[in-house]
């Protein structure tokens, strides 16, 4: 029997070995960027400086239809000067026509807008100021036309349906509605029925009920030809809505007076662009973007992303100047955009970015104080239809953010909290991820209860979180911009590692689906169909992952590195075969456990049709939200909406992907499988209907 003392010595040895070895080695293998560079970034990035810039940007009411005399243009000029001040050489402003008529891809431009002042007064039963533009800019609905009105106000309930207007003459009147959706109320009352203006309270969103003075933004959407009859709108808080509503409820006559000094005109969308040219591969670009527009104050959305990019640009210049990072091999292009519409205009002019753009980063709402905003960080990945490695690079670095070094003096000391999310839309990354450009572009953003309200103020923006997300973006940018053979292999290894996990994860989901279908008698009918579908997924997922790996080759010069990647792709194929066996074996087990007779799925007519159709999209850029409504007959649009409802919350992301995947090479069944792997089980009938609707609108051919 060995002595107790010796035992303790060997225990301590083993103990210290395990304690110390991860400390010694893990820092070099855990993160893709070298420890020294990570430390340099941590020391360089300032959440305080970024926050200061947020507060400066929030002074402007940044409405994306800009033009001479608009606050948006003033903000662009201010920021361009700041960028030159920090030493950026290539700073340019590109201007695109915004007249509410010109289209970029399928996206109709907005109209130019400038506002000077606006006031809304309650005149009777008592005198009271309700809203003033210079107090709270969002109380005047953006894109309101100038004008004056005084008179009795007509209450129209929610003001969004035909019903609400029955027996009421609103022409030439001011109208009051409750329940939010000011833009819809405005269309019904002013554009369709000739009212002069609308006064609308906030929506009934549960999370916002606790803020009685919150004012929601309602952005009007006049087309170029509607400018003359646009009128105006005022948005009220819940407290004000209650007060006005009580007057109507007690049968009082309500008179209001409005005065709006604002104009709609043939304007422009200015895009601010800055470049740091790469020394070795200038034609490979990392595109860092954020929308500069939005409603004053718009601190988190999106002064935070805009300020974060200014900080990043400054950091890059300073780190290179001090020799802490080598000069950049690849080009960095920064874009401060008028959201989506401006991105469409910019890309329509820069079709060459399809080849040059290797990675995009969309910084949209990067500074939320978790506690105040009821928030957390979301890393929204680029979609399956656009292969790339950026999602895995960012995910790899998130672990590094959970470090005290990121706490900023005036920031919170809350722990980093984030979720990895599948692709979804809503911001500029939808343009860059479109298959016309295929630049893999994740979005870095936060959920936020104050999104698009008067309460999105700088105090909701946390210097600590700013420092974290800017550091994350910067570390990923530095890694890719300067990647050589060593870094490319590390990235390939990381993508492969995560791919093997995703494939296992996909099989886990398939097990769950099988189990559910065997447990629930009414789902057994479709068991054979489910089994037949999910048997395809290992191979589908492996193909998606292989395409991601292949993209890493753009960072490689050596044949041996390419061979390394080829070998990893081979390994994914082997894993796919294994995953398929696992699914089959689980199917057998569950069938015998539940005494279910195994059946062979006979593909229905719809499956046959889907397998025979290879659609090709005939347009660039994603489908605008209102496009189907404007281009299908009312009857067809009703069916279109019904079809969408089938797919629930992922409908928007799925249709985006279906369009992106329609390259004339894949059939609809293959597209169905990819979308199902990315999100959840997708009804074949839904896809057939959707593509048929696109065909009716002349957007696809077979
Ligand atoms: Zn935003």
pLDDT of 668 > 70? The answer is yes
CA of 480 to the centre of ligand 1 (A): 25
Average pLDDT, the chain: 95
Please tell me whether residues 434 and 327 are part of one structural domain. yes
Please tell me whether residues 563 and 631 are part of one structural domain. no
How high is the pLDDT of residue 5?
Answer: 44
Report the 10 Å Cβ neighbour count for 616: 12
pLDDT of 18 > 60? The answer is no
Domain end position, chosen among 216, 250, 265:
265
Dump pLDDT digits (tens) for 329-342.
Answer: 999 999 999 999 99
| CB 644 within 8 Å of CB 687 | no
CA of 70 to the centre of ligand 1 (A): 20
Q: Answer yes or no: is 239 within a domain.
A: yes
Distances 95 to 101, 227, 539, 623 between C-alpha atoms, Å:
16, 21, 46, 23
Q: Whose structure tokens read 């990570």?
A: 38
Please tell me whether residues 628 and 522 are part of one structural domain. no
CA of 298 to the centre of ligand 1 (A): 9
Residues 549, 552: Cα–Cα separation, whole Å: 5
CATH number for the domain spanning 470: value is 3.40.630.10
How high is the pLDDT of residue 647?
Answer: 87
CA of 297 to the centre of ligand 1 (A): 13
Please tell me whether residues 588 and 504 are part of one structural domain. yes
How high is the pLDDT of residue 23?
Answer: 41
Domain end position, chosen among 462, 481, 500:
481
How high is the pLDDT of residue 13?
Answer: 45
pLDDT of 9 > 80? The answer is no
pLDDT of 4 > 80? The answer is no
| CB 54 within 8 Å of CB 461 | yes
Closest CA to 458 of 367, 378, 364: 367
Closest CA to 142 of 62, 214, 67: 62
Please tell me whether residues 314 and 222 are part of one structural domain. no
| CB 583 within 8 Å of CB 507 | yes
Domain end position, chosen among 481, 500, 515:
481
Q: Answer yes or no: is 546 within a domain.
A: yes
CA of 105 to the centre of ligand 1 (A): 21
Dump pLDDT digits (tens) for 230-276.
Answer: 999 999 999 999 999 999 999 999 999 999 999 999 999 999 999 99
CA of 218 to the centre of ligand 1 (A): 15
How high is the pLDDT of residue 465?
Answer: 98
Closest CA to 374 of 303, 443, 446: 446
Dump pLDDT digits (tens) for 453-471.
Answer: 999 999 999 999 999 999 9
CA of 39 to the centre of ligand 1 (A): 30
CA of 447 to the centre of ligand 1 (A): 10
Q: Answer yes or no: is 594 within a domain.
A: yes
How high is the pLDDT of residue 26?
Answer: 41
Please tell me whether residues 598 and 531 are part of one structural domain. yes
For 421, phi then psi, to 5°, come to -125, 150
Q: Answer yes or no: is 37 within a domain.
A: no
Residues 494, 479: Cα–Cα separation, whole Å: 13
CA of 302 to the centre of ligand 1 (A): 5
Please tell me whether residues 123 and 227 are part of one structural domain. yes
Which stretches of 146-247 are assigned E, i.e. beta strand?
A: 147-155, 174-177, 197-200, 232-235
Domain that holds residue 353: 44-108+269-481
pLDDT category at 666 given cuts 50, 70, 90 is very high
Domains held by the chain: number: 4
Please tell me whether residues 463 and 523 are part of one structural domain. no
CA of 303 to the centre of ligand 1 (A): 9
Please tell me whether residues 580 and 502 are part of one structural domain. yes
Q: What is the pTM of this model?
A: 0.94
pLDDT of 121 > 50? The answer is yes
| CB 279 within 8 Å of CB 328 | yes
CA of 65 to the centre of ligand 1 (A): 16
Token pair in block for residue 47 = 């959440």
Please give the span between the terminal C-alpha atoms of the chain, in angstroms, as a whole number: 80
Which stretches of 184-266 are assigned E, i.e. beta strand?
A: 197-200, 232-235, 255-265
CA of 446 to the centre of ligand 1 (A): 10
Q: Answer yes or no: is 17 within a domain.
A: no
Please tell me whether residues 308 and 439 are part of one structural domain. yes
CA of 650 to the centre of ligand 1 (A): 20
- Local structure of residue 462 (DSSP, 8 states): -
Please tell me whether residues 196 and 174 are part of one structural domain. yes
CA of 196 to the centre of ligand 1 (A): 30
Which stretches of 137-226 are assigned E, i.e. beta strand?
A: 147-155, 174-177, 197-200
pLDDT of 700 > 50? The answer is yes
Please tell me whether residues 324 and 473 are part of one structural domain. yes
pLDDT of 8 > 80? The answer is no
CA of 219 to the centre of ligand 1 (A): 14
Task: Give the residue-averaged pLDDT of 511-525.
Answer: 91
Non-local CB neighbours of 561 within 8 Å, separated by 6+ positions: 485, 488, 489, 492, 553
């Amino acid at each position: 029997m060995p002595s107790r003392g010796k035992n303790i010595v060997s225990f301590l040895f083993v103990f210290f070995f395990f304690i110390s070895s991860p400390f010694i080695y893990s820092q070099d293998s855990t993160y893709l960027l070298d420890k020294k560079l990570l430390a340099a970034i941590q020391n360089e990035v300032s959440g305080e400086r970024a926050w200061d810039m947020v507060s400066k940007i929030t002074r402007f009411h940044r409405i994306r239809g800009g033009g001479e005399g608009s606050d948006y243009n003033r903000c662009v000029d201010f920021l361009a000067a700041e960028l030159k001040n920090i030493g950026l050489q290539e700073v340019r402003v590109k201007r695109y026509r915004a007249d509410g008529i010109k289209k970029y891809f399928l996206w109709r431009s907005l109209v130019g807008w400038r506002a000077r002042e606006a006031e809304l007064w309650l005149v009777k039963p008592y005198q009271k100021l309700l809203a003033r533009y210079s107090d709270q800019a969002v109380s005047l609905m953006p894109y309101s036309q100038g004008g004056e009105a005084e008179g009795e106000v007509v209450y129209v309930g929610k003001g969004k349906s035909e019903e609400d207007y029955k027996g009421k003459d609103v022409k030439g009147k001011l109208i009051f509605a409750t329940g939010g959706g000011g833009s819809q109320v405005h269309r019904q009352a002013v554009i369709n029925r000739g009212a002069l203006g609308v006064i609308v309270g906030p929506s009934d969103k549960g999370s916002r009920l606790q803020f009685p003075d919150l004012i929601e933004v309602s952005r009007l959407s006049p087309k170029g030809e509607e400018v003359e009859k646009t009128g105006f709108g005022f948005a009220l808080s819940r407290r004000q809505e209650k007060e006005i509503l009580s007057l109507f409820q007690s049968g009082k006559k309500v008179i209001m007076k409005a005065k709006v000094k604002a104009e709609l005109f043939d304007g422009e969308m200015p895009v601010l662009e800055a470049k740091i040219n790469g020394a070795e591969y200038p034609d490979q670009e990392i595109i860092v973007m954020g929308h500069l527009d939005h409603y004053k104050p718009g601190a988190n959305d999106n002064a935070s992303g805009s300020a974060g990019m200014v900080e990043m640009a400054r950091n890059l210049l300073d780190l290179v100047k001090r020799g802490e990072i080598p000069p950049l091999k690849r080009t960095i292009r920064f874009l401060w955009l008028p959201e989506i519409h401006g991105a469409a205009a910019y890309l329509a002019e820069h079709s060459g970015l399809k080849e040059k753009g290797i990675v995009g980063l969309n910084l949209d709402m990067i500074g939320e104080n978790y506690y105040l905003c009821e928030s957390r960080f979301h890393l929204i990945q680029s979609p399956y239809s656009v292969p790339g490695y950026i999602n895995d690079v960012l995910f790899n670095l998130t672990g590094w953010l959970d470090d005290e070094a990121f706490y900023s003096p005036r920031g919170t000391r809350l722990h980093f909290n984030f979720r990895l999310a599948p692709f979804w839309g809503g911001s500029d990354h939808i343009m860059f991820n479109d298959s016309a450009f295929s630049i893999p572009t994740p979005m870095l953003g936060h959920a936020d209860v104050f999104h698009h309200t008067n309460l999105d103020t700088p105090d909701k923006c946390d210097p600590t979180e700013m420092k974290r997300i800017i550091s994350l973006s910067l570390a990923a940018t530095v890694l890719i911009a300067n990647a050589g053979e060593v870094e490319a292999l590390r990235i390939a290894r990381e993508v492969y590692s995560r791919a093997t996990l995703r494939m296992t994860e996909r099989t886990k989901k398939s097990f769950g689906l099988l189990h559910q279908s065997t447990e629930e008698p009414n789902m057994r009918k479709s068991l054979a169909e489910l089994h037949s579908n999910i048997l395809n997924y290992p191979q589908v997922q492996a193909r998606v992952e292989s395409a991601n790996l292949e993209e890493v080759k753009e960072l490689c010069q050596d044949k041996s590195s390419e061979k390394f990647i080829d070998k990893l792709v081979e390994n994914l194929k082997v894993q796919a075969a294994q995953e398929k066996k696992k699914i089959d074996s689980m199917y057998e087990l569950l069938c015998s456990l539940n005494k279910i007779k195994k059946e062979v799925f006979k593909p229905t007519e719809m499956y046959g049709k889907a397998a025979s159709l290879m659609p090709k999209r005939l347009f660039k850029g994603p489908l605008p939200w209102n496009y189907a409504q404007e281009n299908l007959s009312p009857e067809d649009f009703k069916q279109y909406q019904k079809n969408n409802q089938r797919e629930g919350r992922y409908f928007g992301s799925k249709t985006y992907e279906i369009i992106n995947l329609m390259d004339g090479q894949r059939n609809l069944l293959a597209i169905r499988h990819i979308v199902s792997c990315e999100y959840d089980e997708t009804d074949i009938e839904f896809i057939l209907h959707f593509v048929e609707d696109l065909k009716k609108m002349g957007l696809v051919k077979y």
